[in-house]
Amino acid sequence: NDEVQKLISDSKNWAIPTGDYANTRFSKLNQINKDNVKNLQVKWTFSTGVLRGHEGGPLVIGDVMYVHAPFPNTVYALDLNNDGKILWKYEPKQDPNVIAIMCCDTVNRGVAYGDGKIILNQADTTVVALDAKTGKVVWSVKNGEDTAGGKGESGTSAPMVFKDKVLIGISGGEYGVRGHVTAYNLKDGTVAWKAYSTGPDAETLMDGEKTTQLGKPVGKDSGVTSWEGEQWKQGGGTTWGWYAFDPKLNLVYYGTGNPSTWNPVQRPGDNKWSMTIFARDADTGMAKWVYQMTPHDEWDFDGVNEMILVDGMDISGQKRDVLVHFDRNGFAYTLDRGNGELLVAKKYDPAVNWATEVVMDPKSKEYGRPQVVAKYSTQQNGEDTNTTGVCPAALGTKDQQPATYSPKTGLFYVPTNHVCMDYEPYQVSYTAGQPYVGATVSMYPAPNSHGGMGNFIAWDAAKGEIVWSKPEQFSVWSGALSTDGDVIFYGTLEGYIKAVDKDGKELYKFKTPSGIIGNINTFEHKGKQYVAVLSGVGGWAGIGLAGGLLGAEGAAAWQQAVAGQKAPTEEEKSISTAGLGAVGGYAALADYTTLGGQLTVFGLPD
């Protein structure tokens, strides 16, 4: 989209949720720099009026900031000329029953701009285009089937506007939803193309001969033949993460989520194309290449995290245009983004133990496949057996919280989880619209380490090496930002916004009113640079607080039990696995923060 590209190239704006089409989250602004960032002050704040988890961040286009909220997905247009005075507000009417079918809090990762419209992907899968000037609905379409007699589909992902289209994904892998992405025409909301993650070629938009994985044709109907019977019909592979676009290659990139159910014993086969990076033609949706990172997933390692596109990376003396992806499974992948050739696949947390390596020898039958450690195979250990000590936990070495790439240092700065789990699969039967999880999980900090549940790291994607790692008490569930001012920002679950230098040295921190799971961004207005972030604890890691699943008393009792100071009661034991395992794991968060949705805008002293 030429208009959007023009807006993006002017760093004063933050014109798309990911900062740019390459998902770098790097800004050329440099007024706020490593020397003066310590002087940052709060300039103005704005309450969204909504509690629960606030993911994503505001857009800034010219004099207007667009702020979104989790369910009920209120959108505000704020006037930057007037300390954020409200220009318009849009509040959709949605059936609150959709809350019950959202796996990991009522989050929404942001709105997109294009063609004079603001596009919102609502929790109930309604996609609306709002007139950016007035907030009036221009068009509205239904992207899935939610609660009433539906399949348990929901919407949380941020749309991506590209060319004359907007890409929308779907959530509901915990409900057996069959994943899909749809490109809608920006003009009127009609469907340009729709591609499923599983199923026959005509529906996955694959060509058995021309679509390749690691240089080889995928074969006919691979999205059917890699499943038993008709299991692909509720096979998961949802598309709730981030999307990227390469205008030169005319390809869109994204990853697919876990195969449904979480019980691997119940679904033999590689379960294609769950857990897969897709490169699709932007005009037709046809898949050019794919790469399945975790064939036959046994741990819920959704492959949806962002794809970061970097040009001319020096890989063993050769300049390559690459795609870098920090997967939930604990491996960071560097691929040639033109043909999907695998260049690097290395662990980005030393705790990762479920696989020893990804096979890099093209002559091997196992080429590109992770080598699973039998002890941590929930498939081999079988149903109703608790597989213990698996690292990372189901929420991965990194979940949806996006990393940033700085072209100045050539490094990636990555918010990570340092969490392990016990995982017990069990039989589950499929009923449309009902949970289809099939595993009990509990989570805890990676053992024999620093005791915390997170690290903020710097990563060299050419070598596949951690450059430095800064321990955090909790998972870093916020998206990072790097700038030409040689500063890197991220937020913490306790609620701190932090700024570090290129060596990871902390330069600034400020405690905002609630835990940060939003993505930090920056913009310039009237010649001054600002940094903005949404606070509002929640998401999967914060579900205990956001969903009210654990009171402060419960948290304290649970912590004592974990610390071995008292025997856990039956109720406390059930807490440990509530919220798909996150409630017990993150119980101590209740000592630091509580719910609240607020935007905080920082700037330098006048």
CB of 174 to ligand PQQ, least distance (A): 6
Coil, helix or strand at residue 97:
helix
For ligand PQQ, the binding residue among 1, 182, 204, 400 (CB under 6 A) is 400
Going by the DSSP 8-state scheme, the letter that residue 583 receives in this structure is: H
Is 300 in the active site? yes
CB of 310 to ligand PQQ, least distance (A): 25
- Contact of 479 with 518, CB cutoff 8 Å: yes
CB of 182 to ligand PQQ, least distance (A): 15
* Nearest residue (CB) to ligand PQQ, 377 versus 400: 400
- Contact of 490 with 458, CB cutoff 8 Å: no
* Nearest residue (CB) to ligand PQQ, 218 versus 580: 580
Q: What is the spatial distance between Cα 424 and Cα 492, in angstroms, rounded to a whole number?
A: 30
CB of 393 to ligand PQQ, least distance (A): 10
Q: What is the spatial distance between Cα 553 and Cα 569, in angstroms, rounded to a whole number?
A: 13
CB of 173 to ligand PQQ, least distance (A): 2
Cis status, amide bond into 273, omega within 30 of 0? yes
107 binds ligand PQQ (CB under 6 A): yes
Residue nearest to ligand PQQ (CB): 173
Q: Which of 275, 534, 276 is nearest to 401 (CA)?
A: 534
**Binding range to ligand PQQ, per CB under 6 A, among 90-98, 100-108, 365-373, 557-565:** 100-108
Those residues whose C-beta lies under 8 Å from the C-beta of residue 372, and which sit 6 or more positions away, are 298, 354, 355
CB of 91 to ligand PQQ, least distance (A): 21
**Locate tokens 């599983």: which residue?**
198
Q: Which of residues 188-247 bind ligand PQQ (CB under 6 A)?
A: 238, 240
- Contact of 534 with 599, CB cutoff 8 Å: yes
Size of the site for ligand PQQ (CB under 6 A): 20
13 to 52: interface string for ligand PQQ, x by CB under 6 A: ----------------------------------------
* Nearest residue (CB) to ligand PQQ, 27 versus 125: 125
Coil, helix or strand at residue 518:
strand
CB of 35 to ligand PQQ, least distance (A): 35
286 to 305: interface string for ligand PQQ, x by CB under 6 A: ----------------x---
> What is each CA distance from 319 to 116, 314, 342, 485, in whole angstroms?
38, 5, 14, 26
Candidate list 300, 327, 349, 422, residue with the active-site label: 300
For ligand PQQ, the binding residue among 172, 402, 515, 596 (CB under 6 A) is 172
Type of residue at 555: A
- Contact of 208 with 286, CB cutoff 8 Å: no
431 φ/ψ angles, rounded to the nearest 5 degrees = -130, 125
Q: Which of 324, 78, 87, 285 is nearest to 183 (CA)?
A: 285
121 binds ligand PQQ (CB under 6 A): no
For ligand PQQ, the binding residue among 158, 279, 395, 557 (CB under 6 A) is 395
Q: How many residues does the chain have?
A: 606
156 binds ligand PQQ (CB under 6 A): yes
Coil, helix or strand at residue 409:
coil
Residues of the shown chain interacting with ligand PQQ in the complex, contacts defined by CB under 6 A: 55, 103-105, 107, 156, 171-174, 238, 240, 257-258, 302, 395, 399-400, 539-540
Catalytic residues: 300
